[in-house]
Structure 1
Amino acid sequence: MTGTVLVTYGTKNGSTAHIAESIADALREKGLTVETMRAASVPFVSRYDAVVVGGGLYAGRWHKDARTFVRRHRRDLAERPVWFFSSGPLDTSASERELPPVHGVRRAMRDLHARGHATFGGCLEEDADGWPARRIVRSGKGGDFRDFDAVQVWAAGIAAELKT
């Protein structure tokens, strides 16, 4: 593939954005041209040859911007290779085993014939926005559970698939 890959995401506190940037960096290292953009800022996807869409998980649902992006661009997404990722578990479970996508993501994967999905650990720290997030942190359940080595490995698999 010689075109451009879009890596887009929905995030509240920036943790998912860091994962998206890591995915983009790994794809670039494999020789692909990549653009990274917040899902709410993407006007169209027709200029991209492949798309990676990620969303933070909140109460078992993908971030609203990621859901809206998939709904808004579903026709164009169905015409190109697409992968999904989720971030959010505030524990080591995502590093210990493959976690299935939440219901809405699973449905979108089926409808768009997505090529894959990965769930990565989340990050919730003291400066998080919103009282529920701060309450979680104060209860001792926050922290950074992102595994950037796993992100790199997953992205390398995408790059390999796109280059064949």
Structure 2
Amino acid sequence: MPTYVLVVYGTANGSTAEIAETIAEVLRKDGLTVEALPARSMPSAAAYDAVVVGGGLYAGRWHKDARRFVRHNREALAERPLWFFSSGPLDPSASERDIPPVPGVKKAMARLDAREHVTFGGRLEEGAKGWVARMILRSGKGGDFRDFERIEAWAARIGGELTS
């Protein structure tokens, strides 16, 4: 039974980090030892029994730190249970229907035999970094569209797989 799990994430304004921390918290309640770390810190996936990788979506791509982490750790990731998540739609669509992974994530899933991918809604609020984020906020499209019940349910399914 895998017991040491890494939840790693790429985020610009902290929304994806909060999703990752929620996933880690649920996995801990299932009795697993879990670390939630930013992908930019480039932890070694080889040190863990299972990995969950998440990235915020920006212009149809995963956050660059998440992409780099996957590239850097591709051999180790291919040898252990692996799940991907994305966050980003700034509307309720992610809670209303399954949103497939963006092309780069879909390609990585196939190469690494990832078990599953899910897209969660994102959050963009005043004070967000970046010119594009500020433009989105000015157009009135910000808000918090994360569904924490759905995030917790997904994490519980992962925990069930790892502890069964």
TM superposition score category, shorter chain reference:
over 0.9
How far 1:130 sits from its partner (Å)? 1.1
Counterpart Cα distance in 1 of 2:2 and 2:102 = 32
Aligned-residue CA RMSD (Å): 0.8
Counterpart Cα distance in 2 of 1:2 and 1:112 = 18
Matches within 5 A, 1:71-82: 71-82=71-82
Counterpart Cα distance in 1 of 2:142 and 2:9 = 21
Matches within 5 A, 1:9-158: 9-158=9-158
Q: Report the TM-score when normalising by structure 1.
A: 0.98
Q: Which runs of 5+ in 1 are unaligned?
A: none
User: Residue type of the partner of 2:18?
Assistant: H
User: Residue type of the partner of 2:111?
Assistant: D
Counterpart Cα distance in 1 of 2:121 and 2:66 = 17
What is the aligned-residue identity percentage? 68
User: Residue type of the partner of 1:10?
Assistant: G
How far 1:2 sits from its partner (Å)? 4.8
| Alpha carbons 2:2, 2:162 under 8 Å: kept | no
- Once the two structures are superposed, residues 22-57 of structure 1 have per-residue CA deviations (whole angstroms, 9 ceiling, x without a partner) of 000011111111001001113311110000000000
| Alpha carbons 2:52, 2:84 under 8 Å: kept | yes
Q: Which runs of 5+ in 2 are unaligned?
A: none
Q: Report the TM-score when normalising by structure 2.
A: 0.98
Counterpart Cα distance in 2 of 1:2 and 1:33 = 9
Counterpart Cα distance in 2 of 1:43 and 1:126 = 31
Q: How many matched pairs?
A: 164
Report the 3-state secondary structure (helix = DSSP H, G, I; strand = E; otherwise coil) of the residue aligned with 2:154. Answer: helix
- Once the two structures are superposed, residues 78-105 of structure 1 have per-residue CA deviations (whole angstroms, 9 ceiling, x without a partner) of 0000000000000000000111000000
Q: Which runs of at least 4 in structure 1 moved beyond 2 Å after TM superposition?
A: none
User: Residue type of the partner of 2:117?
Assistant: H
